[in-house]
Structure 1
Amino acid sequence: MKKYIDLSIFYFVLAMISGVFYREFYKFMDFRGDSTLGTLHVHLMVLGVLVFLLVIILAKLFPIEQNKNMKRFMIVYNVGLLMLTATLTTRGIVQVNGIALSAAANGALSGIAGLSHILLAIGWLFLLLILRKTITNDIDDKKD
């Protein structure tokens, strides 16, 4: 259970750092438009902090940690979220600096962002399947 709160704290710290970086970087660059840096803070708060707080609650209510796929969820989801964080940060810095990426670089960055979304979706699927199996087993146990 400690690992979930530690991850929630880790993503909270990243979210706070990203919010300060966004605000100060915009000021420093005298930038007045929109960029993906503006969405990074919220992504980290929801997909990092809140998701792992939810996992803590679920682990208290159901024996999800006993499921062999829980380790897969943790790895896939965290890799996906860190990749998403990296791509949002990179794309935001490029946007604020007004850097024109080549088609290949833009495609690569989009591809990595897409892969991060796929990994997050797979992570969510692992978690949902873990819950389904755990809840179904819990209901079956109570019938007996």
Structure 2
Amino acid sequence: MNKLLNTAFAYIILGLGSGLFYREFTKATDNLGTHSQLNTLHTHLLVLGMVVFLVVLALDAVFSLSGRRSFSVFYWTYNVGLVVTVAMQAVRGFLTLDGQDPATTSAAIPGIAGLGHMLLTVGLVALFVALRAGIKDRNEPTDQAALAVSERSSRGTTHRLVAQPPMWRPALTGVGLHVGGHGELSSACGNPLRAARAICLWSRG
């Protein structure tokens, strides 16, 4: 996380510095107010650099993105792509202020700028891959806890159903009734009818 914070801080320094440089450079060359790629150089550094890495820092704090291979791909690919992109912006801006057309000066300039944009795209795709894995890992403990609670609840219900005695089982199950002089009249061996008969005979005796 410190690496992300330091990266965001580096981009805010570069963004503010490029804005100050643009103003002083155009004043020194009598090109103040001339539209060029230098106009938006500081905006790209602040938004695509500082803001993006602060957002990624917050996402890393929630979903633990650091340490994943896809996140490392994002970090290095995105940074290289952003540096290449803003470097080509600076080159085009200097050529414009010098009175040249960047599109016709060299075919390598738009080609390298396009490569920078492709690297930015690859980096953002890798970021979404890391974010998807982080969300999946964050949801797994919740799903496992819910499954464990469900299993405990099911086992508890089954245990209560097995342990609870049937409602029709009489209290006299297995109790032998004896009457003095008549001997054993009956043994209630779990049969309600026999138990009732034993009670009847016992009351008569």
Same fold, judged at TM 0.5 (above) = yes
Deviations 1:52-105 (A, max 9, x none): 111110111111113121111111011001101110111101101112458461
Higher-helix-fraction structure: 1
> Which structure has more RCO (C-alpha within 8 Å, separation ≥ 6)?
1
Higher-strand-fraction structure: 2
Instruction: Name the TM-score, length of structure 2 as normaliser.
Output: 0.66
Please report the RMSD computed on the Cα atoms of aligned residues, expressed in angstroms. 1.4
1:15 aligned partner, one-letter code = G
1:141 shift after superposition: 2.7
- Contact between 2:103 and 2:110, CA under 8 Å: does it hold in 1? no
Task: State the distance in 2 between where 1:19 and 1:90 align.
Answer: 15
Partner of 1:142: 142
| Counterparts of residues 30-109 of structure 1 (less than 5 Å) | 30-31=30-31, 32-100=33-101, 103=104, 105=106, 107-109=107-109
Task: State the distance in 2 between where 1:113 and 1:37 align.
Answer: 14
Moved over 3 A (4+): 100-104
Please say which of residues 61-70 and 82-91 is displaced more in the overlay.
61-70
Task: State the distance in 1 between where 2:101 and 2:139 align.
Answer: 56
Task: State the distance in 1 between where 2:104 and 2:53 align.
Answer: 36
Partner of 2:3: 3
1:33 aligned partner, one-letter code = T
1:58 aligned partner, one-letter code = L
Task: State the distance in 2 between where 1:134 and 1:102 align.
Answer: 43
Partner of 1:132: 132
What secondary structure is seen at the aligned counterpart in 2 of 1:65? Answer: coil
Instruction: Name the TM-score, length of structure 1 as normaliser.
Output: 0.93
Task: State the distance in 2 between where 1:46 and 1:102 align.
Answer: 26
Partner of 1:114: 114
Q: 1:78 to 1:101 in 2, by over 3 A?
A: closer
Amino-acid identity (%): 37
Q: Which consecutive residues of structure 2, in runs of 5 or more, have no partner in the other structure?
A: 145-205
2:136 aligned partner, one-letter code = T
Q: Which consecutive residues of structure 1, in runs of 5 or more, have no partner in the other structure?
A: none
Q: Greater CA radius of gyration, 1 or 2?
A: 2
1:128 shift after superposition: 0.8
- Contact between 1:29 and 1:97, CA under 8 Å: does it hold in 2? no
